[in-house]
C-alpha cells in the first residue's frame, strides 16, 4: 500500500505513524502536484478529501493512469461543491476523469 502526499511534512507524519503502529505494508511516497510518482502498478486508488486541492486534476489523472493495472478502480471522495462546503462537485470530477482518458463507470 502506498500513501502519497506532495507535502514533505505530511510524509514525515505518515512515516512516524508507520513506525508508531509498526505497519509493514505502507510505503510513503513524496509525489508531485501533477504526478503521484508511484513506483509500480496499483489495483485501487483513493483520493480522500484532496481532489479539490489539485491544481491540474486532468494532468494528475493522466499521469496516474500509467500506474493503474487493468480494471483498477479510482475513487474520489470529496465534499460536494454546493457553495456551503469546501470541495468539488461530482459532475466536475466525472468530467475531468473523462477528459483524462479514464473510463468512468458506476457514476450513478
Q: Are residues 63 and 19 in the same domain?
A: no
52: left (phi over 0), alpha (psi -120 to 50) or beta: alpha
| CA distance to 19, 46, 47, per residue, from 61 (Å) | 30, 12, 11
Query: Is the overall model pTM greater than 0.95, yes or no?
Result: no
State which residues form the domain around 21.
Answer: 1-31
CA distance 85 to 102: 27
User: Cell triple for residue 90?
Assistant: 461530482
Q: Is residue 102 scored above 80 in pLDDT?
A: no
Mean pLDDT of 37-62: 92
Q: Are residues 2 and 40 in the same domain?
A: no
The pLDDT tens digits of the residues spanning 68-101 come to 999 898 999 887 555 566 788 888 899 999 998 8
Amino acid at each position: 500500500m502506498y500513501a502519497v502526499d506532495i507535502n514533505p511534512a505530511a510524509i514525515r507524519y505518515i512515516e512516524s505513524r508507520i513506525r508508531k503502529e509498526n505497519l509493514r505494508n505502507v510505503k510513503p511516497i513524496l509525489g508531485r502536484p501533477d504526478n503521484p510518482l508511484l513506483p509500480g502498478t496499483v489495483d485501487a486508488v483513493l483520493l480522500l478529501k484532496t481532489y479539490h486541492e489539485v491544481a491540474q486534476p486532468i494532468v494528475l489523472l493522466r499521469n496516474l493512469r500509467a500506474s493503474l493495472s487493468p480494471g483498477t478502480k479510482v475513487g474520489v471522495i470529496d465534499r460536494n461543491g454546493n457553495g456551503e462546503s469546501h470541495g468539488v462537485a461530482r459532475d466536475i470530477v466525472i468530467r475531468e476523469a473523462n477528459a483524462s482518458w479514464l473510463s468512468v463507470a458506476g457514476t450513478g
